[in-house]
Amino acid sequence: MTREELLQKLADKARNKVATREDFISTLDNLISDLSDEQITTWNIIREIVELHSPDYDEVNGDICPQCSEGEYWTPYPCITIQAIEKELK
């Protein structure tokens, strides 16, 4: 499976509008059986990045990315990292 085919498969699954972020991750994990070892490594790296940039709820600001926020400067979720990943899935 080429990178383009992988991204298309991930995008197709993303369009299914799974109910929660956890459902989305689970759905993507199920694709691993079709991947080469190199693609599995790439997926695991992307998955860790998505986990690292998980949203956190702030009573004042709503969903923020704590990884990208610093001190009193908060970053709204989705942050630019998540936006970049989502862009590649489109």
Q: Which residues contact 20 (CB under 8 A, 6 or more apart)?
A: none
What is the pLDDT at residue 70? 92
What is the pLDDT at residue 69? 94
What is the pLDDT at residue 55? 87
What is the chain's pLDDT, residue by residue, as a tens digit (90 residues)? 555 666 666 666 555 555 566 766 676 677 676 778 888 888 888 888 988 988 898 888 898 999 999 988 999 988 999 888 878 766
What is the pLDDT at residue 2? 55
Q: How many domains would you assign to the chain? A: 1
- Rounded distance, CA 77 to CA 56, Å? 8
**What is the pTM for the complete model shown?**
0.64
Helix axes 3-14 and 21-29, enclosed angle (nearest 10): 140
What is the pLDDT at residue 14? 56
Find the domain containing 79 and state its range.
3-89
